[in-house]
Chains A and B, each alone.
Chain A
Amino acid sequence: MFWNKEIETLPKEKLKELQLERLKKVVKYAYEHVSYYRKKFEEAGLKPEDIKTLEDIRFIPFTSKADLREVYPFGMFAVPLSEIVEIHSSSGTTGKPVVIGYTKEDIEVWKEVMARSLTMIGVTKDDIIQVAYGYGLFTGGLGFHYGALAIGATIVPTSAGNTRRQIELMRDFGTTVLACTPSYALYLAEYAQDEMGIDPRTLKLRVGSFGAEMWTEEMRKEIERRFGIKAYNVYGLTEIIGPGVAHECPAQEGLHIWEDHFYAEIIDPETGEPLPEGERGELVLTTLTKKGVPMLRFRTRDITAFVSRTCPCGRTFIRIERIRGRTDDMIKVRGVMLFPYQIEKAILEVQGIEPHYQIILTRPHYLDEIEVQIEMSKEVFSDEVRKIEELRRKIEKRIEETVGIRVKVTLVEPKSLPRSEGKAKRVIDKRGLS
């Protein structure tokens, strides 16, 4: 089902034309209305009219979360506050929050992309949608609210929390669509079953749209199994618009980015250079139509890749893979990107218990090497060298299968790895030092 079939199936060439036209406009608009951009352009020796093709976007300096914090609260606003109709904010654990203002037009764009997202997974005006994302400064609740409002579905704005009532309302109102974080969805299923004796499969739920945190394919299967529904992935971030930047279609093989409003690039997070299609890297987004806070080349720090295959659903808009990780956690070794959680998972699979481990990167002979130090535990310790060696090699093999690189596993004594504030420091990069 399409909300806006003409746009959603626009031929690629036409889409690119539209994007270029909008990109030129937004660059000029940002340059003229936001001093932050004007300053950045001047530093880079760039003029808005230098952007002549879509590829020229690479000349525009990146915008980072830190940049946005620095101009707290309204430094990125391109319009006077009187034109702003709503404000959202994402609070970081450190530093000042990021503040984003929406004009009336921006809210219309938000409605549009969320309406497309929900319609794509079959939501209609006959549905009852329970929005269990938080309502407030966080964009989750209101983003879904606006999309459902545009469609005309019946909204049950429960916001997050109060689990018992969420389930009672689901049962009593006959909720058909659930929107919340995937971990909360699993918690709801568990709570219904264990605390209320309600089999989640007996609820009228049909589909769910889940996001705002990283989750896995295994979690999807679990949610689908427990509720007997189809579970879809939604992507968005406050800096860009909130939920609705991208959403999965029924093919469940990646999320379509609403490219007429958001221009996506995938870059090497270290060099900032664009990566060939299909390679994993950091997602960089540019808003093509936003008026309140236009965002040029925002570094999301989310790791994903473009899915280049044509989608069976008929949409021409490019898809991205589900988010694989954050650049903050990423390690790049011999050109391969990997994440500590992949290594942790591999160790857990072999030894059956949560490991205390540390990843040490060195470059002894111009070639990166990874050593994974794992604390020996009572559960796996043996009095036989052979058995410990076997375990060590098994872990090495499993990690290699998972991340595609040979690593050296060393077993160390318990509590010998440093811990800071109860949380272990996972990666020690000594490559710069040697």
Chain B
Amino acid sequence: MKIKQISVFLENKKGRLYEALNVLAQAEINIRALSIADTSDFGILRMIVNNPEKAKEALEGAGFTTKITNVLAVGVKDKPGGLAEVLKILYEGDINVEYVYAFVEKSGEEALVVLRTNNLDKTIDLLQQKGVKLLDSKTVESL
């Protein structure tokens, strides 16, 4: 149920985000979800793409530092409070959320979010028990 996320280290320098995205475009990589976490000095670009290994190769070839991490793709009801419901389950299960961000596309009636917690296995168990939908990598890559 885990899916692969690629993250990229970016200096807070003009044009770096564009350059990273351009590398992916040249390599014909499709971006499904994207977020940027930044501080005053640097940023971390996190993405779900259709081909993480190829994206990693292309980015590293262009001199970027990257890392592939496991995350979850969670389907949440596309209505107010949809995401809150999921977070409540985690909170009650004593799981810490490291970060969460949204997919570009929807899956039917559901919005999709990327979720990273301090304990992915326990998160999967909990969410599945509660009937929350988790997408596997095949589904995500073919979105």
- List residues of A whose CB falls within 8 A of some B CB: 376-378, 381-386, 388-389, 410-416
* Cβ-closest chain B residue relative to A378: B65
Shortest Cβ distance from residue B76 to the other chain A in the assembled complex, whole angstroms: 21
Contacts A378-B65, A413-B9, A413-B65; A383 near B42 (Cβ below 8 A): no
| 27 A/B residue pairs, CB under 8 Å, sorted by A | A376-B42, A376-B65, A378-B65, A378-B67, A381-B7, A381-B9, A381-B65, A381-B66, A382-B67, A383-B5, A383-B44, A383-B116, A384-B116, A385-B37, A385-B38, A385-B44, A389-B39, A410-B42, A411-B11, A412-B11, A413-B9, A413-B10, A413-B11, A413-B63, A413-B64, A414-B63, A414-B65
| A-B pairs, 7 with minimum CB distance | A383-B7, A376-B9, A385-B37, A376-B65, A383-B69, A413-B11, A381-B65
**Given the complex, which residues of B lie within 8 Å of A385, measured CB to CB?**
37-39, 44
Tell me whether B44 and A388 are in contact (CB under 8 A).
yes
Beta-carbon contact of B9 and A411 below 8 Å: yes
The CA-CA distance from A385 to B42 in the complex, in Å, is 9
Interface of A is mostly: loop
Contacts of A388 in B (CB 8 A): 42, 44
How distant is the Cα of A385 from the Cα of B39 in the complex, in angstroms?
8
B16 at the interface (CB under 8 A from A): yes
How far does the alpha carbon of A388 sit from the alpha carbon of B10 in the complex, in Å?
12
Q: Report whether A383 and B46 are in contact in the complex, using a CB–CB cutoff of 8 Å.
A: yes
A381 to B7, CA, bound (A): 9
In the docked arrangement, what's the CA distance between A381 and B8, Å?
9
Name the CB-closest residue of B to A375.
B65
Q: Contacts of B66 on A, CB cut-off 8 Å?
A: 378, 381
B9 — which chain A residues lie within 8 A by C-beta?
376, 381, 411, 413
B63 touches A415 (CB 8 A): yes
A414–B60 CA distance with the chains assembled, in angstroms: 10
Q: Does B99 contact A (CB under 8 A)?
A: yes
Interface string of B39-50 (1 = CB under 8 A from A): 101101010000
Bound CA–CA A383/B39 (angstroms): 13
- Indicate whether B92 reaches chain A with its CB closer than 8 angstroms: no
Tell me, yes or no, whether B98 is within 8 Å of chain A by CB: yes
Question: In the complex, which of the residues B44, B65, B69 contacts A377, with contact meaning CB atoms closer than 8 Å?
Answer: B65
B98 to chain A, nearest CB (A): 6
